[in-house]
Amino acid sequence: MCIRDRLWICSNCFAIYNSTAEDREMDVLDWQKKWSQIDDFYSVPPPQEFEAALKNHGAVFDFFSKDLDRQFSGSYLEVGAGGGMMAAAAATRFQVANVFDHVTDRLNQVKERVGDHYRIVSADEIASLETDTVLIWHAMEHFLDPGAVFELCAKTLKPGGLFFIQVPVLSYEHVYPGHYYFYCERSFEVLAKNNNLNILKFYYDLSLIHI
């Protein structure tokens, strides 16, 4: 069912598909790669700011550790890692931090500072991983086939593992060609059920919601 030009809603999971790129016959993958080559896009902090940036990103893990009463350890996987700083913070808490993104130049810069337990993996390598925690942060909305990515990540989880996903709410400023999908609680309930996972909790960052 079409709810407005170029936005379509799934009657099963209520996910919303933004068909702007498809309608305009845009090569969004190429567009995203060019965008990511801009110097200020996910830039790696200089050495004098690196530790402060690690602490800032690490606050996310500290929050979830306290709220869920879980200590992070073992193996970590992040898909759609952007500049790689979330994974760098994870590398201070996990024995191995596996990180994936289509653009790897910034990941390589971060790896030089973090060490060999910060592992840059290919898409093909993800399927062979066994992970204690998976994170998709500000990336799920960019995937052309989010169901397949979710399934791939879910299969890596060990029993009792945790899967964290952050996505933007549907709002005017978030509707642009690089954002293919928008989600609601029902969307993730369907994804979780289809992959034999249980939903622990939904969180909302009210500072990012514009009314």
CB–CB of 114/91 below 8 Å? yes
Question: How does pLDDT run across 138-153, given as a tens digit for each residue?
Answer: 999 999 899 999 999 9
pTM for the model stands at 0.90
Task: Give the rounded percent of residues in the chain with a pLDDT score beyond 70.
Answer: 89
Digit-coded pLDDT (tens) for 118-139: 999 999 999 999 999 999 999 9
Query: Is the confidence at residue 208, as pLDDT, over 60?
Result: no
CB count within 10 Å of CB 39 equals 6
* pLDDT, tens digit (0-9, with 9 covering 90-100), for 69-113: 999 999 999 999 989 999 999 999 999 999 999 889 899 999 999
DSSP string, 70-109: ----SEEEEES-TTSHHHHHHTTTSSEEEEE-S--HHHHH
Residues in the chain: 211
Burial zone of 170 (CB within 10 Å; 0-12 exposed, 13-18 middle, 19+ buried): middle
- What does residue 42 show for φ and ψ, rounded to 5 degrees? 50, 45
Long-range CB pairs of 181-184, under 8 A, 24+ apart, other chains included:
181/15, 181/16, 181/17, 181/18, 181/140, 181/141, 181/143, 181/146, 182/15, 182/16, 182/18, 182/141, 183/15, 183/16, 183/140, 183/141, 184/14, 184/15
